[in-house]
Every structure is written in structure tokens, then in C-alpha cells.
Amino acid sequence: MTGRPRARAFGITNRVNVAIAAAVFIVLYALLIAVSPIAGSSFLINNFVVLATPLALAAVGTSLVLIIGGFDLSVAGTISLSNVIAATAMAAHPGAEWSIVILVLALGAAVGFVNGIFVAVLGLPSLGVTLSTNIVLAGFALVILPAPGGSVPDDFVELLTGTVGPLPVAGLVLVVVAALWILFAKTRTGMSVFAIGGDPSASRLSGIPIRRVQVVTYALAGLCYSAAGLYFSALTATGSPTAGSSFLLSAFAAAALGLVSFRGGSGSAIAAIFGAATLTVIPKFLFAGGLADFWVGAFQGLVILLALCIPWVSRRLNALRRSRTTDPVEPTPIGPTPAAVDDLGGIGSTPRTRTEQHV
Amino acid sequence: MSADTAFVEIRDIRKQFGATRALDGVSLDLRRGEVHGLLGENGAGKSTLTKVLAGVLAPDTGTVSIDGARISLGSPTRSRQAGLAMAYQELSAPPNITVAEKLFLPKLPRGPLGLVSRRALASKGQDVLEQFEKSDIDARSPISALNLADRQHVEIIAAMSTAPRLLVLDEPTASLPDTAWLFGQVEKLVESGCSVIYISHKLGEITRICSRGTVLRNGRIVREFDSATADEDELVEFMIGRSLTQAFPGKPRSSEARSPSVTVRGISVTGRLHDISFELGKGEIVGVAGLEGQGQKSLFYALAGFEKYDSGEVVVHDPAKGRPEFSLVPEDRKTEGLFLSLPTQSNLTISELRHFTTFGAISARREKVIALKAADEVNLPRPFLGREVQQLSGGNQQKALFGRAIISSPSCLLLFDPTRGVDAATKVEIYHMTRAFAAQGGSVLIYSTEIPELVGLCDRAYTIYGGRISGEFAGDRLTESGLMSGALGSGKKAKA
């Protein structure tokens, strides 16, 4: 086993994704500080982390479902519903905010559970199922709170958006989520999520209880969305029935910036968190640079496109390196080269190589 | 329990899909430590039986018991717990997991906190690989980085390492270059008291490794045999339901001078192919033999235009106007060839779209004409045309693919392992269709993993090794041993 060329083991590739996503964010934030030094102040850093957290939590859920090979559009509806429930219930029952938090989180998990049942047990396409549940949830949100209103208590806001010593609470929350992700990826269920995303029928034949793992994954994703909705409530201190709609595309964009595969089977929630941070820093950066607001969307889209090109670049680099170092006699993995697979529109008979799978 | 009574009892398994009876009352008895051969062409019900035993498919009726205890069917987990293990023909490893993960799925070993340590997993995986004498496979390597043979090794080791009481090997040598390793491992396993159901198309293997066997046809048991006394021709007859007198069509006299159809001059693909030159004559069937991954796939895909070559040229002599120069029947019909959810008719005609469309609108009438012509040429029963191609048996799917390739009348037909996973009867039909195509003046380049097939079918053959042509064989020199030595890189480049 020594001396033979090996594709990078799977854990490492995901670590590389985290490093790339983190580097992109850090570079952009450093540029922001260069343009506007006040962005480096602890007050603005805290503000920034709080602002990025709802999207980061939503992107973690989105990534989970993407990795298992599905698409979850219910992110928007779940955030809206969590937001309006928090804003109305907390206003109506002062002092009960923590019970309400638990209730909302449970509701998010339950929404995900229902999605999971439809997808895993009934075998329906995730895109259609979650599109429907998203519409249903958005409808419920409108029933509960037809127009923006409601409020959340100040101490709830202060706790979630405040600091512990010099550290933002939101940052700590994200660190805990990242740690939980690392642990989850080491559980049997977590590892099965990747296997199912890679090849569901092979996973089934390998003895993985794929239905159970799918249901758990969608439920965890729902939990993440409701956590995002709660954080959004603390951020805005009010409720809006359309609170979640802006999260739909941006959660997927954050996952894309985190190099989470849209074909399933690879990705890291931690990278998605950095993706969310990148997406949040872009408008600030443009604002500091004096560009008009309406450039924000164009620039965000451009950065996402560039992120999508990273696997392509690394594939070309790998191919270049291979052609320089390997002798034709070297045992090569069977099947067309990644490039050939591309030319055929991805028809490959053989499993895609790691790098190809990103998005 | 004495050695003579049944250790594994499979009783009256029935499974129906729509109108097809995939399994129609199958019963098998296996003694402890017996290797039992299961023969049958594709669609005979072997894979369905495997999946029923695995618990992946619930049978309509029937029971399975091991050592007197009945197993409840229909749950993969319970089948596993009862000591059943499967090595699937289609190789059941997701491409993105590591070898070690596959070896231990679904019960990955957990540490004290209930978490899976990658390092411990890799080292335990390496131990398992060593135990099964495959320590050259890296347990940390992702499945996608393995060649097909090693993927098959991992599949088999994953099944064997669960210390099963009944192991099912479904076409275990489909991608293995040599069977010695497999047979050694099976013998070791059998000594520990495990029974094995060995499913194969290859009669020679069955008679070597199995003491007894069963022939399955159309979901029924049609014959049981003892390997010691079995007659191979008779078994084939039972398998396909008719005699297999003349497998290969007659070859035209080799002395005839052929005018060249395709000349390949020095094509290279960096890292895969090196300075490949050869010529195909009109009406000639030329074989390519090689071990797994010697560049043959790049060669075929480069000729078909799916892969770019860096240098060299391919000349097609007097190409017919409006006709493709090359037409490829790819290796994996399900992922590279067929549109599984489309009707068979569309699968046959899709490359010919421009011949039955006017300003982009499809003429159903003209499409039907082309589809019928193609179906008739490949003996595909006409009623299948309206069915989704995924509902057809493997052999009929391959015929559909073959029909699509020849209906466009290419100058040269590229067949990449066209009989893989195809039943014996369809194989014979494919040989005859290939020869008929050549007889009409087309040339054929065919790669096959089965060397006897190349010897029986081809007018001439090349061997490929390390991305280079390592030998050319024609006439009397076109023998199994010659091709084998060329494939191993020891053949000399010489004309017969």
C-alpha cells in the first residue's frame, strides 16, 4: 500500500473544504477591515456574528439534507413559523420564553420528521415534498400572524445577541453547533448520511437502515431551521410571517459557498457556517466600499459562481499533477477520466471521484 | 445435527412482480459447509432469490431456516442477525466511503463514547484485509479509488468477515482477474462450517468449487446436479432451455485480403494510452484483450469521441455520408447506455432522432418504422417496444443497446464487453449479430473480459498492456494462451 497513488481519504477532503470556506471568509473580512477599520472592533464583530447566525444555522440544516442527497425547501416556512410563534407566544406569555423555545425547537424537528417520513417511507422526491410543506408552513405563519408584529422579551434578545466576557454568545452557539457536527459525523448515523448520499441503494444493500437515517436527518435539519428562526426572532425582536423567505436561496447559497455537494455524499456543516458568514460579509464590504446596495446581489452571485468553480479548478490541477507524475503502466482507476465523464454530461459508469461531487 | 441433514432449508419461495413470476416455488437444501452452485441465465431469478435471502425483498410466500431456526424474511437487519451475508453482483459499496467503512457497515465499531474513530476503523479494516490476504488494499482508501477487481475483493471480504452461517456470492468473479484467491477464501470459510450459495454464469467455476448445484430457469428449479457427474453441455441446455451446439458463428476465410476501413496511427492519451496503432479491415471483427485498466476503455472511448487523445490520428476510409464513423456499445448499459425510464422504442431510436423529425417535431410513424427495423435486427420481441427498458431482462436491455448502435449503420462498431452480465442465449445471439454486421461490410472492434469469446468470435485480436499494444494475434496464433500471455504483457508484437 505504500507508494501507490491514492485518492485523498474522505475525511481529509471535507477538512480541505472547511479550510477553503474559512479562508474565503477570512480574506473578505480582512478586506472589510482594511477598507473600514472599525469593522475590527469587538462591538461590530459581535454584531456581525449575531447577524450571520440565523443564516448559518439554516445552512447547517440545508447541508445535512444536501449531504444525504436531498433538497429541503422547507427551510423558509419553518423559519417563518418559528419566528411568528416565538413573537406571538412570548408576547402573550411573558416569563415562559424558555418553554416556548423548547416548543419551537420540537416543532421544527417535527416538521422535519414529517418531511422525512414522506421522503424516506413513501419514497417521494424531496424537492416536491419540501416545496409543499414549505407552502403549508408559510400559510400557517400567516394564519398565526397576518401582519408583522408581536415581540420577544428584552432579556431573551440580550442573552442571544449579547456577549459572555469578550465572546459573542452567537459565536459560542456556532462553536457548539460545529462541535456537535463533528461528533455527529463520527456516529454511525452520521457516517451513514454520507454513504446514503453517495449511493442510496448500495447503502441499503450494505445494511444501513436508510429510512431511519433519512428521517433522523430531516428532523435534525428541521431542528436547525427552527433554531435559526428563534435566533432571527432575537435579532429582529419582532415577528413577521415572511421572515423566512429570504433564507430559502441564501441557505443553499451558503451551502454552495461551503462546497457542500449538491449531488449528495460530501460536505461539511462547518464549511457551510463559513459560507453563511461569507454571504453576510459581502454586503458590508460593498457598503464600506461605497457601492450601491443593488450591487450586493450581483456580487453575492458572482462569489457563489466562483465557489462552484473550485472543484473544477482542483480537478484540473489534479489531472495536471497526475499526468506529470504517473506512468501509463500505473494502475489507474477504471472508467472514463473525470474530464471524459464531464464531456458526456456526467454519465460515468463509475463512481465519481471525490472532487467531482462538489455541487 | 448430522452432516447429512439440511443446515439451510429454503422452502417454496415465491415472488411475483406484476405479471412476471420471478420466483415460482424455489426450494433448496444446503448441508453445513456445502458450497452449492446456482446456475441460471439472467432473469432466471437468481438475483431475486439473493435479495429475498438478504431481506431486501419480502417474498410472497416461503420460508428460510438455518439450523432448524426459521428466519423472518423481509428485514435486512434480521437476515444479518441470522447469519446471512451477501456479496452482490452490482457491488454494494457507496463510492464515497472508505474501504474500512464498507467492511464494517452497518455496525461500525464504536469507541467508549459511542463514536466511530476513523483511525481505529482504518486499523481494524487493515487487519481484516490482512486476514483475507488482501493487505495490498488500503483500508483508508475511498471505494471510488479502487479498480473494479479490488471493489469486488472488498465486497466479498465485507460479506465473509461477518462470520456468516450462509454466504451468498452473486457472480463473484465478474470482475476478478483470477479466481484462486476467491476459491481459497471460500474453502477457508467452509471449513468453519459456513454454507455457501455460489451464483455464476461460469460452469467451469461451479464444477470446480461446488459439490452440488441447482439450475434455475424462469424462477423454477429445472435441474439439480452433482458436480462430479455433471455434464456441462447438458447443464447449459437446462439453463437456456435449448441446445448450445454452435455458440460462435463461422469465420470467413482469413486469407481474403481486406480493404482497410479504419486506420489508427499513434494515438496517445496522457497517462493512459501510449502510441496505439492498428488497422481494421472492412468486414473484420478485431478483438482487444487486456487485464482490467490497461487503457482499453480509453481506447474505445477515444475512438468513440468521448475522450480526447493528445496525439496521433484516426482515419476512417471512405466514410458513408450521413452515417456515423463509430458507434459504441458501452461497458455499463444501465448508466452509460440506456435511458432506463424511457420506453424501449425511444432507447432504440434516440440516436436517429434527425431521421424522424421535421423542424424538431417527432414523427411517431417514422420513429416506429425505425424502431421496428432495429428490434427485428436484434431479435427483440416487438411487444417490448412500448415497455420501459428497465423492465426488460439484462439480455434484452443489451439487445436494445446493440440495436441502437447498429441501426445507424456506423463504419465501425465498438463493443466494450458487450456480453457482460448477459445470459448464455443472448450471448450467442450477440455473436451472430456481430458477425452479421461485419458480413455487411462493417468493421468491429470488440473488447471482452472473456478471452474464449474473443478467440471464438474474432478474425484477429490485439492485446493491450500498460496502455500499449503488446501483441497481435491472427489465424492459428489466435489462441487463449496466446492472448493471455499478451494480456500479461509478455506477448511479442509480431504479425502472424
Å between B148 CA and nearest CA of chain A: 7
Is the Cβ pair B144, A354 closer than 8 Å?
A: yes
Bridge partners of residue B220, in order along the sequence: B217
Instruction: Tell me the pLDDT band of A355, cut-offs 50, 70 and 90.
Output: very low
Q: What is the pLDDT of residue A334?
A: 39
Q: Could you tell me the CA-to-CA distances from A118 to A128, A133, B224, B267, B389 in Å, in that order?
A: 10, 10, 46, 52, 28
The DSSP H or E segment spanning B299 is helix B296-304
Residue B392 sits in a domain of what CATH number?
3.40.50.300
Residue B2, in any domain of the structure: no
Å between A326 CA and nearest CA of chain B: 6
CB atoms within 10 A of CB B277: 12
Q: What is the pLDDT of residue A5?
A: 35
Residue at a domain's end among B245, B275, B307 = B245
Q: Are residues B364 and B460 in the same domain?
A: yes
Instruction: Tell me the pLDDT band of A340, cut-offs 50, 70 and 90.
Output: very low
Q: Are residues B337 and B462 in the same domain?
A: yes
Residue B345, in any domain of the structure: yes
8 Å CB contact between A256 and A305: no
- Between A193 and A322, the more confident residue is A193
Residue B492, in any domain of the structure: no
Q: What is the pLDDT of residue A296?
A: 82
> Which of chain A's residues have a Cβ under 8 Å away from the Cβ of B447?
none
Interacting residues of B364 by C-beta distance below 8 A, sequence separation 6+: none
Cis previous bond, B106, omega within 30 = yes
Q: Are residues B210 and B176 in the same domain?
A: yes
Is the Cβ pair A187, B115 closer than 8 Å?
A: yes
Residue B494, in any domain of the structure: no
Q: Are residues B132 and B49 in the same domain?
A: yes
Report mean pLDDT in 10-residue bins for chain B, 496 residues.
72 82 89 91 79 92 91 88 90 90 90 87 94 93 88 94 93 80 94 92 83 87 86 78 67 74 91 90 92 87 90 86 85 85 89 83 87 89 87 85 90 90 79 92 90 88 91 88 80 42
> Which of chain A's residues have a Cβ under 8 Å away from the Cβ of B307?
336-337, 339-340, 343
Q: Are residues B66 and B208 in the same domain?
A: yes
Is the Cβ pair A187, B101 closer than 8 Å?
A: no
> Which of chain B's residues have a Cβ under 8 Å away from the Cβ of A332?
147, 271-272, 293
Give mean pLDDT, residues A277-286: 90
> Which of chain A's residues have a Cβ under 8 Å away from the Cβ of B272?
328, 332, 337
Q: Are residues B205 and B272 in the same domain?
A: no
Residue at a domain's end among B245, B268, B292 = B245
A-B CB pairs within 8 A amount to 173
Q: What is the pLDDT of residue A287?
A: 84
How far, in Å, CA of B275 to CA of B268, rounded? 5
List, in sequence order, every beta strand (DSSP E) within B334-427.
357-358, 361-362, 412-416
Q: Are residues B326 and B475 in the same domain?
A: yes
User: In chain B, which residue's Cα lies nearest the Cα of A193?
Assistant: B97
Q: Could you read off the pLDDT of A27-69 as tens digits, one per residue?
A: 999 999 998 888 888 889 999 999 999 999 999 999 999 999 9
Residue B407, in any domain of the structure: yes
Residue B438, in any domain of the structure: yes
Q: What is the pLDDT of residue B428?
A: 85
Distance in Å from the first CA to the final CA of chain A: 31
Total domains, chain B? 2
Q: Are residues B26 and B175 in the same domain?
A: yes
Q: Is the pLDDT of residue A10 over 70?
A: no
How far, in Å, CA of B277 to CA of B270, rounded? 16
Bridge partners of residue A124, in order along the sequence: none
Interacting residues of B89 by C-beta distance below 8 A, sequence separation 6+: B47, B170, B171, B174, B199, B421
8 Å CB contact between A281 and A273: no
Written as one string, the DSSP assignment of B194-263 is -EEEEE-S-HHHHHHH-SEEEEEETTEEEEEEEGGG--HHHHHHHHHSS--S--SPPPPPTTS---EEEE
Q: Are residues B147 and B86 in the same domain?
A: yes
Q: Are residues B71 and B95 in the same domain?
A: yes
Min mean pLDDT across A206-210, A248-252, B355-359, B462-466 is at: B355-359
Q: Are residues B95 and B235 in the same domain?
A: yes
Q: Is the pLDDT of residue A159 over 50?
A: yes
Instruction: Tell me the pLDDT band of A353, cut-offs 50, 70 and 90.
Output: very low
Å between B4 CA and nearest CA of chain A: 32
Residue at a domain's end among B245, B268, B303 = B245
For B257, the grid coordinates are 485480403
- Between B248 and A188, the more confident residue is A188
Residue B277, in any domain of the structure: yes
8 Å CB contact between B269 and B275: no
How far, in Å, CA of B241 to CA of B360, rounded? 46
How far, in Å, CA of B306 to CA of B326, rounded? 11
Q: Is the pLDDT of residue A354 over 60?
A: no
Q: Are residues B281 and B429 in the same domain?
A: yes
Q: Is the pLDDT of residue A268 over 90?
A: yes
Give the SS3 label for residue B443: strand
Is the Cβ pair A328, B273 closer than 8 Å?
A: yes
Name the residue among A1, A8, A347 with its Cβ closest to that of B336: A347
Which amino acid, B316?
Answer: V
Q: Is the pLDDT of residue A358 over 70?
A: no
Q: What is the pLDDT of residue A166?
A: 85
Long-range interactions of B428-436: CB distance < 8 A, separation 24+: B428/B244, B428/B247, B429/B378, B429/B379, B429/B399, B430/B398, B430/B399, B430/B402, B431/B247, B431/B248, B431/B249, B431/B456, B431/B457, B432/B249, B433/B377, B433/B378, B433/B379, B433/B402, B433/B406, B434/B285, B435/B249, B435/B250, B435/B285, B436/B249
Report, in angstroms and rounded to the nearest whole number, the Rg of chain A calculated over CA atoms: 21
User: In chain A, which residue's Cα lies nearest the Cα of B120?
Assistant: A186
For A154, the grid coordinates are 428584552
Q: What is the pLDDT of residue B43?
A: 64
Q: What is the pLDDT of residue B19?
A: 61
Q: Is the pLDDT of residue A349 over 60?
A: no
How far, in Å, CA of B422 to CA of B42, rounded? 6
> Which of chain A's residues have a Cβ under 8 Å away from the Cβ of B148?
334
Å between B304 CA and nearest CA of chain A: 11
Burial-class residue A186 by CB neighbours within 10 Å (0-12, 13-18, 19+). Answer: buried
Give me the domain span that covers residue B107.
Answer: 8-245
> Which of chain B's residues have a Cβ under 8 Å away from the Cβ of A192?
106
Bridge partners of residue B285, in order along the sequence: B444
Q: What is the pLDDT of residue B391?
A: 82
Residue B126, in any domain of the structure: yes
Q: What is the pLDDT of residue B241?
A: 66
Report the mean per-residue pLDDT for chain A: 85
Q: What is the pLDDT of residue A346?
A: 32
Q: Is the pLDDT of residue A336 over 60?
A: no
Å between B184 CA and nearest CA of chain A: 22
Q: What is the pLDDT of residue B165?
A: 93
